[in-house]
Amino acid sequence: MSLRRVLAASALLGAAALSSGCPPAQKSVQLNGQVSLTLIHTSDIHSRLFPYDFQIGTIDAQLGLGPADTVQRIGGAAKVSHIVGRERARSERVLHLDGGDCFQGAPVFNFFRGEAEVKALSMMGTDAMIPANHEFDLGPTNLVSQLERWATFPILAANYKLGDIRDPRDPGLGRVFTPWTSFNLGGLRVGVVGFGNLSTVSSLFDQPNSLGIVPLETVEVAQFYVDLIRPYVDVVVLVTHLGLETDQHMIAETSGIDVVLGGHNHIVLQPPKSIDDCQNVEPETGRHYISILTGDAQPSGAAPKHERRYCNPRRVILAHSGAFARYVGRLDLVLSNSAADVPPGYDPIDGFEVLQSDYKLIPVTEDVPEDPQIVELLEPYRVGLGALADLDLLVGYAPSAVSRSATSGGDSPLGNMVATAAWLRQGVQTDFAMTNTTGIRAEIPPGPITLETMYNVFPFDNSIAKMQLSGVEVQELFDFSARRSASRACTSQVQIAGARVVMNCDGCERLAVPCSVDDDCGFGGQCTPRENGEKRCRVPCAEHIYVGRDANRPCQRDQDCGPQALGACDTFKVDESGNGRCWTEIDSIASYELATSNYLASGGSGFSVLKRNTTQLDTKIQQRDALIDFIRSGRPCGWSASSGTSDGLVACGVDSDCPTGSACACVGHVTRGANGACTTDGSCEGAGRCVASACRDDLARFHERSCEGARSAASKQACIDTVNPCELGGEECKFVACVDQRVGNFTDGRLIMVGR
């Protein structure tokens, strides 16, 4: 079926779905002149229904989330709901629109499959939502079930061609999705069109697929629905989960959109972007135009027919409001259809034009009150999680944050730990390991590391798969990784262990092919002239790939391993002479065993070189469990082989017996002093052990939190006296693993990014 017919059929389905709701009927009030409209925007909540600890970075500090480099308790659906309700009460005409990915990212989704997320959005009065990539993580049937049972709002997806719901094999998305909807807000008719994710739903472009979805072209779909609903509405709002670049391209190539509320990149646009639509310019006349699909593809295989529609550029507001329930965005618009207000060239078909906009980003901080109805709604899920999994179970202690990003764009501390945990896991133990950077969903903040922290880092239940690759396939694997990384500001999209790789984002000569323009190169390649005037593509690639250290080749610099051996000398681990060891460059005809996630092994994120491999073995060991066990294998903070004790910790009687930054942990002799600090009373007589004082204090505060639900101050104090957090924290610090360099919390240049 042609795109035009698909869109026409979708439009009819959308109209039918709306016939029992709010169809675009005639205005009940005739509006003229200036009016106001408020759009409340959330996106990428990722199951953060309960408040969580988060280390505030520089950007979040500037946006008001809290002081930089501090750990704050933020987020939570009850706080988000309070903000949404408060902002509704302050506005005459208001909509709350959610940009999808409310599923996946915290344990509540792993155990309750999205039920709590949909219920929470419904209770807070969400007006419309779009589906994003993680809504499909447990399959379309689960998504349909959760939405049909609990959603009280329309689910908008104009860019999906859905299957026939009469087909028993169809998952039924057509019963819950509709392309667009409209709202009559005191006479102002607002049309809202939704665009689901296209780029990261891994199976979407494999046809036929289990989702029952055919993706549709963004620009043509957007213009089709703008043209369709413009006669019936005064304002056109698009809610998307396409990413910033696609949003900007869509605006530039269309005409008639007023506002775009975007998501997927987890970014904040503060202030929002103001982008002109209708940006194509006809060289011969200087007139602006958009390209309109007017015909079907020809039998000969020729492209569908298009024609130019002339238009005047208009300002379109583009806002992104962040992720993980950290912020709520509020966009206030002043609109008018009066000739005295609108710019020259105003077309009445455009309804009300945006005259002014004001965007307020509202941080979801600890001091924001909670909506008691949402608290009550989520209480059974909180209790259920406690019964199903002890999320407060200690895994380790982080004296400093474990970052999932690196300033160099290459390997990150957390990425190295994740890959190493899979590489060295008992029952895996391969030549090298690789995981995708975006699969690591959160950093580890400083302080206690709990099972809940591990679910936040690895919300996906991905297991570790093993497979054999030839040297040629290893080269292809990292060439593809380089192309993906180059398209994302030369930031590595993979994390590795047991290997070292140099990724050239500017492109390699060995992949050069003739070209005329950059588009001929694909994969982010650049068409560059040579000395003889011939143009050749430079496609991003991996230039130096090493797997395994050569114990017989000492080195202190890369040149010791060879004249062109960039990144070959590993000096992070040195011998008693101060020498590192050279890594071994891959051999094209050799065989290498890889450990990776079953998501990548199945072709996720475009890794087709892995999907077609026939030697795959799924170990059924989850990446999350491998990381937990790897961390737990570490030593406690302050451990030393020269401590003189069997447990590796210095013996002490009082805090002053311990090195700077340490405190004496001793059963029966540690309490919280009058100044609020943990202290040892001096009666340990050498029976205590020196532990990191920060560890003792942080774990004490962690355990005190368990007493916060007490009904009175007296009962809270009784709880604290019973638990004795200072003593408990000190005793735990004697054995809980310290996540420092000894456990792999470092970067060592195993991924070197070159160019751009």
- What DSSP line would sit under 316-382, residue for residue? EEEEEB-STTSEEEEEEEEEE--TTTSPTT--GGG-SEEEEEEEEEEE--TTSPPPHHHHHHHHHHH
pTM (2 d.p.): 0.88
- 440: CB partners within 8 A, 6+ apart: 404, 414, 415, 418, 457, 458, 495
- Domain parsing of the chain, residue ranges: 3-18+31-61+95-336+348-379, 430-633, 651-733
CATH 3.60.21.10 is held by the domain 3-18+31-61+95-336+348-379: yes
Paired with 41 in beta bridges are: 97, 329
Separation of alpha carbons 205 and 517, rounded Å: 26
Would you call 472 helix, strand, or coil by DSSP?
A: helix
SS3 210: coil
In the predicted model, residues of the chain with pLDDT beneath 50 are: 1, 15-27
Strands (E), 186-234: 188-195, 213-215
To the nearest 10°, report the CA torsion of 704, 705, 711, 712. 40
Q: Cα separations (Å) of 734 from 417, 433, 520, 522, 729?
A: 22, 32, 61, 55, 9
pLDDT at residue 12, as a whole number: 53
Please, are residues 374 and 716 in contact by the beta-carbon 8 Å criterion?
A: no
Tokens of 446: 């400083």
Give the phi and the psi of residue 336 in degrees, each rounded to 5.
Answer: -155, 150
As a whole number of angstroms, the distance between CA 227 and CA 257 comes to: 10
b/e 85-106 (16+ beta carbons within 10 angstroms → b): bebeeebebbbbbbbbbbbbbb
Q: Could you tell me the two tokens for 96? A: 């709350």
CA 516, 517, 522: angle at the middle one, nearest 5? 115
Report how far residue 447's alpha carbon sits from residue 692's, in angstroms, rounded to the nearest whole number.
Answer: 11
Q: What's the CATH class of domain 430-633?
A: alpha beta
